Amino acid sequence: MNDQQRPSRSTEAFFGRRKGKPLRERQAEGLASVLPALKLDLQAEAPGKLAELFPVPVHEVRLEIGFGGGEHLIHRAVETSDTGFIGVEPFVNSMAKLVGRVDDLGLKNIRVYDDDATQVLDWLPEGSVDRIDLLYPDPWPKRKHWKRRFVSQVNLARFHRVLKPGGLFLFASDIDTYINWTLTHCRDHGGFEWLAEQSSDWLTPFAGWPGTRYEAKARREGRSSAYLTFRKV
């Protein structure tokens, strides 16, 4: 069975460990008190309009898969307070860091989920999301593990279903094989148009890009990044 036929993959396919070093007391308290209020309830039916997920008016909704340290998600939520953000991250320490920042800043335009992003994608209504960000995902660098990369025909089909007409899929990575993998998979899917017209379009960070700790690490190690933008067609 190829990945176009496979209806789903196990949670373990997309990420490794769920928890790192022990949480500090404040982080643990934040997870216990703040996370329940922010977490999506996938047992309930998704609202017809995703704006209803947020206690403040929002004019569009974006999904960030694997937000890591949360730098980008927090930056975007502060930058565009009239946009609703759904952030998915299974790593406990990263989630604890994010909810702490959300609480400190009093942000009302963020909802989160702390498990497999495919569960959220399958829960979301068709044509409900304006943009999906997949930024520095785990590259699974060994060839034998490439099948565990989040970009696959199955997940691109999920993206295509939940994105609005003309919605965007943004991908960033410093791993050449994953960049080429993503370009090839989007081309083969047929439902995404790569918007680059010249090399500077994919070598230049996205507008308003704050950078991430993963990007900084890549640059310290001598790797450059690519920033790919695809539009649903």
DSSP one-letter string for 175-207? -HHHHHHHHHHHHHH-SEEE---SHHHHHSPPT
Q: What is the pLDDT of residues 21-58, one digit of tens each?
A: 677 767 777 677 789 999 999 999 999 999 999 999 99
* pLDDT one digit per residue (tens) for the chain, 233 residues: 344 434 444 444 454 445 556 777 677 776 777 899 999 999 999 999 999 999 999 999 999 999 988 999 999 999 999 999 999 999 899 899 999 999 999 999 999 999 999 999 999 999 999 999 999 999 988 889 888 999 999 999 999 999 999 999 999 999 999 999 999 999 999 999 999 999 999 999 999 999 888 888 889 999 999 999 999 99
**Domains identified in the chain and CATH numbers:** 30-232 (3.40.50.150)
Copy the structure tokens of residue 203.
């070598």
Copy the structure tokens of residue 7.
């209806």
pLDDT at 77: 98
**Residue 82: active-site member:** no
Identify the CA nearest to 168 among candidates 202, 201, 208, 131.
Answer: 131
On whether the CB atoms of residues 118 and 44 are closer than 8 A, the answer is no
Q: Annotated catalytic residue: which of 138, 174, 176, 201?
A: 138
Look up residue 3 and give its DSSP letter: T
Looking only at the bridges linking them, the beta strands covering 110-113 and 129-135 are unpaired
On whether the CB atoms of residues 223 and 189 are closer than 8 A, the answer is no
Q: What is the pLDDT of residues 112-130, one digit of tens each?
A: 999 999 999 999 999 999 9
R_g over Cα of the chain: 17
Cα of first residue to Cα of last residue in the chain, in angstroms, is: 27
| DSSP E strand boundaries for the chain | 60-65, 83-88, 110-113, 129-135, 163-173, 192-194, 226-232
Q: Is 171 helix (H, G, I), strand (E, B) or coil?
A: strand
Instruction: Look at the block and give the residue holding tokens 């790919």.
Output: 228
> What are the Cα distances from residue 150, in Å, to 14, 22, 105, 125, 145?
6, 27, 31, 20, 11
> What residues are paired with 169 via a beta bridge?
132, 230
- CB atoms < 10 A from the CB of 72, how many? 25
